[in-house]
Structure 1
Amino acid sequence: MRVFMGMVWILIPLMLISGCGQKEELERQAFVVALGLDKGEKDHMIEVTFQIANPQVNTSQLAEAQNEPPSDIVTVTAPDILSAKELVHTSHSRRVRFSHLKTIIIGEELARSEVFSNIIESAIVDPEVRRESMMIVSKEKASEFIHKNKPIMETRPHKYYEFMQKIWKQTGLVPPSNLNTLFQRIQGELFLVIYATAEREEVGEHQNEDTYLAGQVPQKAGDPVQMIGSAVLRNRKMIGTLTGEETRIAMLLREEPVFDAIITSFPDPVKEGSRISVRLIETSPTRVKVDTKQEPAKVNVQVPVVLQIHSNPANVSYTTNQHNQNLLKKSIKKRLEERSARLVEKMQNEFKGEAFVWYVPARKQFWTVKQYEDYNWEKKFQQADVDINYEVKIENFGEQIKPPSNKD
């Protein structure tokens, strides 16, 4: 018994220290907060940009690092991401880690190429790469986007993307996109990725607040980066773009709510040339019914939305005038249904697929996976008969009991 207890006392310390073989001091590690991917000059080569956080910025050691940049940006050329990660160590003194990586930026040229699918698939081989990492497609090269993105309000780059991700859920101007969702789209379903740029593009006369693409928003001064709209991917290859308005509608047509409420505007049906700002709320999930027994397939979509009137610049009497209230309700309902029908038609004719995740209710119509695959939902959707109905309810018309009269 004494021999046994002696062995136990010897083994316990060994068990406690056995897990320290891979121990590495924190100060010897470098954490990548944003990763940029671009097409290389040679075939099957990519340019990988690492934005590595400076751990001393915004810490107790700020006085020592006040003249240092918030991050170190390094670009190397390699056949894949893991090879590039090793090449970085030829110039970087610390061990590069992906454990804090939450943002992956893909240059549009690479996103439209055939090699992108293989490149992004090989990335998840590294166990440090998180499946929930946010994906962004930049109009210019990803390396240029990262270098130009210097937000004044956020010195730490990872905080900028983290805060932007929270804001997007309130605006609905960009889709939620991450690696995990990308790998779920395997049967030709379309996948929407955040679209961004640090370049400006003149679009002539100003449009509505959500009908822009990244770079088109009329903005003076501030951070040059704009993120609005979507890059459309099919089979992990970019095939087109959607504006902010089209992205919002695509999110509304999904069964699972993506945002709680958004601020948008609609034409005033009484005062031509004026617009009314509203808060649009999804109070309950969108209802989608797919009938695959009919030819062509029948899709019925019911979208319940609640509106709160926020501004009425034309001072039209909506609060006390029932007739005007009915006009406003019908006008908003008609516009939402027309824009939704236009987007569905664009998906059917231009993109040859759907980004509304309607394949989920369609798949439920079949007993086996093979039956669903033989049905070929992607092709059937292109000829499908789609009926979209918005159930519009106006909850209030603002805080004024009676708006002031317009004496024009």
Structure 2
Amino acid sequence: MDGRSVEGACERVKACKLILVSVMPLFFLSGCLGKAELEQQAYVVALGLDKTEDKLVKVTFQIANPQVGSSSKVAAPNEPPSDIVTFTAPDILSAKELANSVVPRKLNFGHLRTIIIGEELAKAKWIHHILASSIVDPEMRRETNIVVSKEKASEFIKKNKPKMETRPHKYYAFMQQRWRDTGYVPYANLNRYFQRLSGELFLAIYATTEKNENVRKNEDDYKAGQVPQQSGDPVQMIGSAVFKDGRMIGTLTGEETRISLFLRRKALGHTFIESFPDPINDKYRITVRMTKPGHTKVKVNTKKSPPEINVSMPIRIQVFSNPSLTNYSTNIENQKRLKQSIKARMEKQTMKLIKRTQDEFKSEPFLWYLEARRKFWTMPEYENYDWEKKYTDAKVEVNYDVMIESFGETLKPAAIKKQDKD
């Protein structure tokens, strides 16, 4: 065989290899066995869980109507924004399968962002088994928010009809952003729930449609259902449900929830608006904006018995409202009194909450266990130390480093001159 024949054979071999390499991926990437058309999917945007007898669970699916809120709404102007169906089954996945005996489309959890748990079920010991078994489904994301409703979850979902949002998934998405802005409720999802199952307290969002209004001077000292409200959406979300070892054991108010978030070394919310009693004239309250410019400093001394915890928190204050018209902007003594009053009140309320967690909950939601765990070389050493038990007797000192940054745009509040009586 001459050189030209050998060279031609080599070229043909290279061409065959190139074709083979190009064709092989098609056998793995061109399969359509698992394809799913959009028209065949039913997207669940909210999931409700309620307690029943015999360890069964009542699962409520809120399925979005894709035609509402889109350009195709003209074709179906009278259709509801979602369909709500409830099934009783051993767990979430079996209820999902059972739902397809009624729902013509295949249920999909790809857009699920909110799980509502009825308070009765949240306090049951086997609620963790239900949540843990649902993670087997790859569509169940760990970023899904956990909301505990005072009433049954099925009733909560049916009564939740926001006036400004026709699409239910948008309502929960916008509310999640408001939760971060106000700090009235914690940022709670499945991932954080599973992280805190070893005695640490997990805070879930507390909500209800039932009203038990009670007017209070402190605007954040409410739980869901207690906020004085006239008209508007029926749902109130404020405060948190306290979980320990996977089940609910109590509740916190909006104020206690804010303090809990502040006491964590790193917090998602750094700016809150709150009011405090006027130290000069206690008939009025001063509204301020609180900012947290840095991380909370937490020092845990595990060598002493009981352990010592020192917490230092920087707080910056901007005065927004001063109804009493007291001169704080130019009067140094008044400034000192205001600063000391805010500092004393915050430290008092904080110590009150810490004492409650030690006596009632027997654990802490401030993530201080992470600081204590760093004091040990191995996990067995930390587990033998038993931080949960040691915390109940720990000596805690809290210091708020308060600094007033501004008193508004005016140099001095204008007072109303007294008029002569006619």
TM-score w.r.t. length of structure 1: 0.97
Q: Which of 153, 166, 170 is the equivalent residue of 1:155?
A: 166
- CA 56–326 in structure 1, closer or farther in 2 if over 3 Å, else same: same
Whether 1:230 aligns to 2:240 is yes
Aligned to 1:282: 292
Pairwise CA distance, 1:6: 6.0
Whether 1:138 aligns to 2:157 is no
Pairwise CA distance, 1:16: 4.2
CA distance in 1, matches of 2:17, 2:331: 91
Q: Which of 118, 121, 130 is the equivalent residue of 1:110?
A: 121
Q: Deviations over 1:150-188 (max 9, x none)?
A: 000000111001001111111010011000000001220
Q: Which of 16, 21, 26 is the equivalent residue of 2:33?
A: 21
Pairwise CA distance, 1:8: 5.5
Q: Which of 262, 267, 270 is the equivalent residue of 2:280?
A: 270
The one-letter code matched in structure 2 to 1:161 is: Y
- CA 359–6 in structure 1, closer or farther in 2 if over 3 Å, else same: closer
CA distance in 2, matches of 1:8, 1:383: 68
CA distance in 2, matches of 1:357, 1:195: 20
- CA 37–395 in structure 1, closer or farther in 2 if over 3 Å, else same: same
The one-letter code matched in structure 1 to 2:62 is: Q
Are the aligned partners of 2:179 and 2:185 in contact in 1 as well (CA < 8 Å)? yes
CA distance in 2, matches of 1:154, 1:365: 49
Pairwise CA distance, 1:97: 0.6
Whether 1:64 aligns to 2:75 is yes
Whether 1:76 aligns to 2:87 is yes
1:85 is paired with a residue whose SS is helix
CA distance in 2, matches of 1:38, 1:255: 35
CA distance in 2, matches of 1:346, 1:15: 59
Aligned to 1:199: 210
TM-score w.r.t. length of structure 2: 0.94
CA distance in 1, matches of 2:376, 2:23: 61
Q: Deviations over 1:76-135 (max 9, x none)?
A: 000000000001000000010111111011000000011101111111111110001011
Q: Which of 290, 313, 319 is the equivalent residue of 1:309?
A: 319
- CA 6–298 in structure 1, closer or farther in 2 if over 3 Å, else same: closer
Pairwise CA distance, 1:207: 3.6
Over the residues paired in the alignment, what is the CA RMSD in angstroms? 1.4
Q: Which of 345, 351, 366 is the equivalent residue of 2:355?
A: 345
1:228 is paired with a residue whose SS is strand
Aligned to 1:213: 223
CA distance in 2, matches of 1:209, 1:401: 27
Aligned to 1:85: 96
CA distance in 1, matches of 2:240, 2:301: 29
The one-letter code matched in structure 2 to 1:58 is: G
Unaligned runs of 5+ residues in structure 2 are: 1-12
Are the aligned partners of 1:281 and 1:307 in contact in 2 as well (CA < 8 Å)? yes
Aligned to 1:166: 177
CA distance in 2, matches of 1:197, 1:36: 13
- CA 300–407 in structure 1, closer or farther in 2 if over 3 Å, else same: farther
Aligned to 2:50: 38
Are the aligned partners of 1:257 and 1:282 in contact in 2 as well (CA < 8 Å)? no
- CA 336–8 in structure 1, closer or farther in 2 if over 3 Å, else same: closer
The one-letter code matched in structure 2 to 1:279 is: R
Larger radius of gyration: 2
Are the aligned partners of 1:316 and 1:406 in contact in 2 as well (CA < 8 Å)? no
Q: Which of 402, 408, 413 is the equivalent residue of 1:392?
A: 402
Aligned to 2:4: none
Deviates more, 1:3-12 or 1:295-304: 3-12
Paired residues in the alignment total 405
The one-letter code matched in structure 2 to 1:17 is: S
Are the aligned partners of 1:307 and 1:395 in contact in 2 as well (CA < 8 Å)? yes
CA distance in 1, matches of 2:147, 2:42: 23
- CA 294–407 in structure 1, closer or farther in 2 if over 3 Å, else same: farther
CA distance in 2, matches of 1:111, 1:257: 25
Aligned to 1:334: 344
Q: Which of 368, 371, 379 is the equivalent residue of 1:358?
A: 368
CA distance in 1, matches of 2:384, 2:42: 49
Pairwise CA distance, 1:407: 5.8
Aligned to 2:256: 246
Are the aligned partners of 1:149 and 1:225 in contact in 2 as well (CA < 8 Å)? yes
2:75 is paired with a residue whose SS is coil
1:229 is paired with a residue whose SS is strand
Unaligned runs of 5+ residues in structure 1 are: none
Q: Deviations over 1:318-350 (max 9, x none)?
A: 011100000000000000000000000000001
Pairwise CA distance, 1:312: 0.2
Whether 1:380 aligns to 2:390 is yes
CA distance in 2, matches of 1:11, 1:258: 48
